A and B are shown apart, each in its own frame.
Chain A
Amino acid sequence: MSEPVFELEVLRYRPEADEDPVFQAYTVPYNEDWVVLDALNHIKDNIDRTLSFRWSCHMAVCGSCGMMINGEPKLSCHAFLRDYYPDKVRVEPLSNFPIERDLVTVADDFMEKLASVKPYVIAKEDRPVNAGEHLQSPAELKTFKQYTMCINCMLCYAACPQISLAPEFVGPAALALAHRYNLDTRDSGREQRQEIAASNEGVWDCTFVGACSQVCPKSVDPAAAIQQTKIASTVDWYKALLSPWGK
């Protein structure tokens, strides 16, 4: 009996040679412990040295290897062949990003959006190191911990219907990150972040489809972060409206 094999159709795009992206078929040995990334590395090492893709940790934490696998955004190091076999899979670069080469996307826009929400502690005043640690209870940590788990894999941007319609939308991961710092007891920067987060390109651009949370490999639930930010922003608005009469 011949050894079982696994088939992949991989999107190729070499900007210097290809006018348009094309699919290329590859056949690799089938191993039920393999993930799609293992299959791609088998191709790279043994079949086609020109296939390009990003990867590093092979343990779903570095966030490099996000791809569309059968049309779904996935970490290729966490997509097991056994979940597709004996069918073949189609592997494409993440949707909603320009293709740089093959499965490699251009991430500039994502990186700028991350930076735009000021994702760092903005403290009221500098705390000297010799003042020691802040006290933060496990319950306080828990309020934002979930939103610290984002690995910046960009799957949520590939899944988001709004990003494809309105590319200026800040997007799920960046808004969740803003929310993470807003909720942190050590931070006082919410007002500064609201300039972006509560703008038209911020949370109000989200139509709350929730695709981001469905594809998130780390259960960050950016949709919840966006929803909570919307509520908080609405409260801000009412407060501002009422404040002349307040007190």
Chain B
Amino acid sequence: MDVKASDVVIIGAGGAGLRAAIAVAEADPDLSIALTSKVYPMRSHTVAAEGGAAAVIKDNDSLENHFNDTVTGGDWLCDQDAVELFINEAPNELIRMEHWGCPWSREPSGHVAVRPFGGMKVERTWYAADKTGFHMLHTLFQTSLKYPSIERLDEYYATDLIIEDGHCRGVVAIEMRSGQVRVLAANAVIIATGGAGRIFPFTTNGAINTGDGMALAYRAGVPLKDMEFIQYHPTGLPRTGILITEGARGEGGILVDKDGYRYLQDYGLGPPDPWPRKKAMELGPRDRLSQAFWHQQRAGKTIATPDGDVVHLDIRHLGEKKINERLPMVRELASSYMGVDPVHAPIPVQPVVHYMMGGIHTDINAATPLAGLFAAGECACVSINGANRLGSNSLTETLVFGAKAGRGAVDYIRSGGRNGTSTAVEKQAEDARSRIVALFHKTDGKETVTGLRKEMNEIMEWGAGIYRDEASLKETCETIGKLRERYAAVQLEDRSNVYNTDLLQVLELGCMLDVAHAVAHSALNRRESRGSHQRLDMTERDDESSLKHTLTYHGGPDEPRLDYLDVVITKSQPGERVYGGAAS
């Protein structure tokens, strides 16, 4: 089998993967880096992030504020040592992005401008109009071209991690243009593959967000952490799920129900004036806003449309000039995909699956429990996001922990990380290849990708959505379990070797089913309500028994095994999350 050896293999070339690659290249230009992704770097989903990236830069703000907003927003499930490290590093990383050419929006003075986001005491979100993720991704990608030691393997799909003697030794990957299965041997591997929003039917996530990297690590015995926490963004466009950035509310947008009433004041987020007020009303945290929609819908106060119930996000009062300057993409997206020009009419929106707080279990240095394996970005769970991520922390997270993962990999190699290939590597790669070959040979499969995916999507939204309970979660666990069994009978219909997207979708579906399984079981066993995990049958937070991280271990064909880990509390004892007027 074709073996390509590098010092570091990185799976995923979005914000975290690119940042990791640059960190390795800067730490040691003699180390060879294979930067692999199933798409070209510029297609990675970081590109779709809109509103901004948080870091303390202004005199009216403080690291303490960022710490508290993050920990409170996460409903005290964040590891506070990790948050501390994150908020300290955040300004440096964003300044570095500035040096690399990121076109941050500016104040008249020439300093970078910041805007408020939900759950923030003081505005600290750096932005590049409303295409912040796009600009950060392209800045990172273009900057990565500077380093000769970064070799890109574009459009490679990783199928397996190779493990020998408890060390991660590389990756098996399919080169999509040829169908060739290759071994990418390495002394250290970094996973940076983003989230898995596609396990749900209605999501802001792109087609590529299928949790591949989470599944790779999970199957290799690395636990997934806190998978029950799924963030619904309160403002998605109906049908397409296209995100309307929180920046729209940061600039002063309001949410109203069918009577034109700012209903958030009924959910502990008021009073509505003075407005805008930080941490209040439309600038409350995402979990609370999405939950308020759910209640408003059940009260019959939302607006019925052919694409489901909506509320209105109104930014008309900002005026055309400000909308064009600060929110041009919002205007373009709403006009194109909804036929609504927000300068003249309110935008119909509904909550939409947006982000996974959980992911591959790592320590604060982005290292997983498997020697030589690191993870960063949405696919990882450090955890700085706890039970609900604060808006605009995720872009910064890709940088801070992407860089950590890169430097961690370098340190690991320097400390004598293993080298060379062996028979074990060959054997594992052969096993991986024979599984793919078997898919090509099978002719009697009774299941389709489309059918299984649809059933998975439906049960996840129905049973593990904004609100859950024992019965819905039990049914979700059972259904996903059965879908995993049925997946063995999935039929591959395209037998071509060249850019076979049928094969890719089969493999992605396998990953999504494993991730969905972890989500459902983690949720069933969290017997409380916290942050984005809300149970109708257990409505209170229970710090006594549940102030813990969930660790989910892959159970092969069976149910996953769950374990729990204490949350690191350093200086902020769990308290009540206070928003609205009482927070100021």
Contact = CB atoms under 8 A, between A and B. Distances in A.
A221 to B, nearest CB: 16
A119 B146 CA distance: 8
A97 to B, nearest CB: 13
B497 A16 contact: yes
Contact of A120 (B98, B112, B145, B501): B145
Interface residues of A, number: 61
A14 B333 CA distance: 35
Contact of A45 (B105, B135, B450): B450
A140 to B, nearest CB: 8
Given A46-B450, A148-B138, A104 B499 contact: yes
Contacts of B208: 56
Given A59-B333, A120-B143, A129 B96 contact: yes
A49 B449 CA distance: 9
Interface stretch (B41-49, B388-396, B421-429, B474-482): B41-49
B27 interface: no
B272 interface: no
A184 B496 CA distance: 46
A149 B139 CA distance: 11
A50 B493 contact: yes
A35 B74 CA distance: 38
B509 interface: no
Contact of B496 (A16, A55, A150): A16
Contact of B240 (A58, A119, A129, A181): A58
B393 to A, nearest CB: 20
Given A119-B142, A148-B135, A59 B496 contact: no
A15 interface: yes
B395 to A, nearest CB: 14
B101 A133 contact: no
B498 A56 contact: no
Nearest to A58: B240
A134 B498 contact: no
Interface string A145-167: 10011111000000000000000
B207 A56 contact: yes
B110 interface: yes
Interface string B482-503: 0000000000011011111110
Given A56-B43, A63-B42, A133 B499 contact: no
Contact of A50 (B40, B111, B496): B496
B242 A58 contact: yes
Contact of A62 (B48, B95, B329, B450): B48
Interface string A117-152: 011110100010100111111101100110011111
Given A63-B43, A104-B499, A120-B145, A127 B99 contact: yes
B328 to A, nearest CB: 10
A227 B499 CA distance: 38
Given A58-B207, A61-B134, A184 B101 contact: yes
B106 A186 contact: no
Nearest to A121: B101
Interface in A45-74: 45-46, 49-50, 52-64
A48 B336 CA distance: 28
Contacts of A138: 105-108
Nearest to B57: A133
A15 B498 contact: yes
Contact of A100 (B48, B134, B177): B177
Interface in B12-48: 39-40, 42-45, 47-48
Contact of A111 (B40, B44, B329): B40
B111 A133 contact: yes
A115 interface: yes
Contacts of A102: 499
A61 B103 contact: no
A121 B143 CA distance: 8
B180 interface: no
B575 to A, nearest CB: 34
B131 interface: yes
Interface in A13-59: 14-17, 33, 44-46, 49-50, 52-59
Given A64-B43, A141-B103, A100 B98 contact: no
Most interface-central of B43, B134, B242 (chain A CB within 10 A): B43
Contact of A49 (B109, B242, B493): B493
B95 A61 contact: no
A57 B43 CA distance: 8
B504 to A, nearest CB: 9
Nearest to B133: A61
Contact of A52 (B44, B47, B500): B500
Interface in B79-130: 92, 95-96, 98-101, 103-112
A49 B502 contact: yes
Contacts of A60: 332, 336
Interface in A182-223: 184, 186-187
A129 B95 contact: yes
Given A53-B501, A64-B39, A120-B146, 15 more contacts: A33-B239, A52-B501, A58-B206, A58-B240, A58-B242, A59-B337, A101-B496, A115-B145, A120-B100, A120-B101, A120-B143, A133-B57, A148-B138, A149-B131, A151-B134
28 contacts: A14-B496, A15-B498, A33-B239, A46-B450, A50-B496, A52-B500, A54-B39, A56-B45, A59-B240, A59-B333, A61-B131, A62-B47, A100-B177, A100-B498, A100-B499, A101-B496, A101-B498, A107-B154, A115-B145, A120-B146, A121-B100, A121-B101, A129-B92, A129-B96, A136-B106, A137-B106, A152-B42, A184-B101
6 nearest A-B residue pairs (beta carbon): A135-B110, A56-B206, A49-B493, A50-B494, A101-B499, A121-B101
